[in-house]
Amino acid sequence: MSKINYSIAIDAMGGENSPDKVIEGISLFLKNKNNNNFNFNIFGDKEKILVSLKKFNIFSLPCYKIFHCTTKIEDKNSVRDAIRIGKDTSMWKAIESVKNKESDVIISSGNTGALLVISKLILKMIDGIDKPALAGLWPNFKGTSIVLDLGANIDFSEKNYLDFSRIGAELYRVIFKKAEPTVALLNVGSEEIKGHEELKNAFHTLQNLKNNFKFNGYIEGNQIKDGNTDVIITDGFAGNIALKTAEGTANFITSEIKKIFSSSIFSKFCYMISYFLFEKIKKNLDPRKYNGGIFLGLNSLVIKSHGSADAIAFYHSIKLTSQILEGNLINIIKSNFDNDKN
């Protein structure tokens, strides 16, 4: 059976150090011969993109097209300003190429708010889903969890908890090939009486519904790392705080370890003895491996790479995108919600 060819739209001008990090990320992805069924529609400043393509030795490859865009959306732009200048920007045109079926997905390191609003404006929501969710990969002791929502929605209803549980489970199933993922709701305690009304109502509904996953009830923030739950559902306010707190704590611990091991000759010697152990820990917890926020609930796939991501991190966002495309996630979600109408 021949492979399906996929087209990935790339906003080459979003985030820091673009387009170099973007093109280098593509080059790292293409080094794997198993990825020869992916093509790239690259949107941005053509001259700068061509320089990067030559720099990273993929100029002569036939797997890309460049679409010149005169402007880009800056991180400092408000969502209103982004929409006002949007139609000639690399982000807007890349999203539009997905709407026009010229691309299957868009990846951007650009302004998160603009990417969400413009994607929703152009691509629209899947019938039956009210709001898009921002999902992310989260390392734990046993592997990786998926957490959503990580900041797309502050106002959350019972229906959002139910919808996001379903689509989060499908995302986990596609990426990690697990037939029955486990799902839990993030809460301030494990007791049924804790939490606000929408959360408690969602808890009781999920307990009594026949789901496409195993419902684990409530989970507290300090239990995410345990790896006993595959998919954690929360509102965007709590989810974003949890994410930023985890990132800040990880950076704090890393900085403290560096400070301690550079404080004296003896500590430097201890570090040399433990070098390979620390390198293994560093590799396992490398945040670049988990780069790529996934907007779920839209009619097409949208991936948000971190604005400060480097080439390796951008490569991982492309790798994640390829897994989701090959797993046919969007059509699976649409089919699920179509069945609700019958």
130-294 shares the fold of 1-126+297-307: yes
* Lowest mean per-residue pLDDT among 188-192, 289-293, 315-319: 188-192
Report pLDDT for 328: 93
Q: Provide the pLDDT confidence category of residue 105 given band limits of 50, 70 and 90.
A: very high
**Helix-helix angle 158-176:329-339, to 10 degrees:** 140
**Fold entry, domain 1-126+297-307:** Isopropylmalate Dehydrogenase (3.40.718)
Residue 341 has pLDDT above 70, yes or no: no
3-state secondary structure of 232: strand
Whether a cis peptide bond, with omega within 30° of 0, leads into 149 is: yes
Q: What is the mean pLDDT of the chain?
A: 90
Percentage of the chain exceeding pLDDT 90: 62
- Residue whose tokens read 């490569």: 315
Report pLDDT for 209: 84
Where helices occur in 18-126 by DSSP H, the ranges are 20-30, 46-55, 79-85, 90-99, 112-123
| Per-residue pLDDT tens over the stretch 144-157 | 999 999 988 888 99
3-state secondary structure of 293: strand
C-beta of residue 144 within 8 angstroms of C-beta of residue 228: no
Q: Provide the pLDDT confidence category of residue 280 given band limits of 50, 70 and 90.
A: confident
Report pLDDT for 172: 96
| Per-residue pLDDT tens over the stretch 204-219 | 999 988 888 999 999 9
Report pLDDT for 324: 94
- Residue whose tokens read 């982004």: 82
Residue 41 has pLDDT above 70, yes or no: yes
3-state secondary structure of 262: coil
- What pTM does this model have? 0.90
Report pLDDT for 267: 79
Report pLDDT for 134: 95
Q: Provide the pLDDT confidence category of residue 29 given band limits of 50, 70 and 90.
A: very high
Residue 342 has pLDDT above 70, yes or no: no
Residue 77 has pLDDT above 70, yes or no: yes
Report pLDDT for 145: 95
Q: Provide the pLDDT confidence category of residue 82 given band limits of 50, 70 and 90.
A: confident
Residue 279 has pLDDT above 60, yes or no: yes
Residue 128 has pLDDT above 50, yes or no: yes
Token digits for 192? 């049924």
Report pLDDT for 1: 42
Q: Give the angle 251-188-289 at the CA atoms, nearest 5°.
A: 35
Domain segments of the chain as ranges: 1-126+297-307, 130-294
Which residues are within 8 A (CB) of 58 and not within 5 positions of it... i.e. 6 or more apart? 23, 26, 27, 30, 64
The CATH architecture to which 130-294 belongs is: 3-Layer(aba) Sandwich (3.40)
Token digits for 50? 């061509």
Could you say which DSSP state residue 5 is in?
P
Residue 330 has pLDDT above 80, yes or no: yes
| Per-residue pLDDT tens over the stretch 159-209 | 999 999 999 999 999 999 999 999 999 998 877 777 889 999 999 999 988
Q: Which helix H or strand E contains 255, and what residues bound it?
A: helix 236-261
Report pLDDT for 101: 95
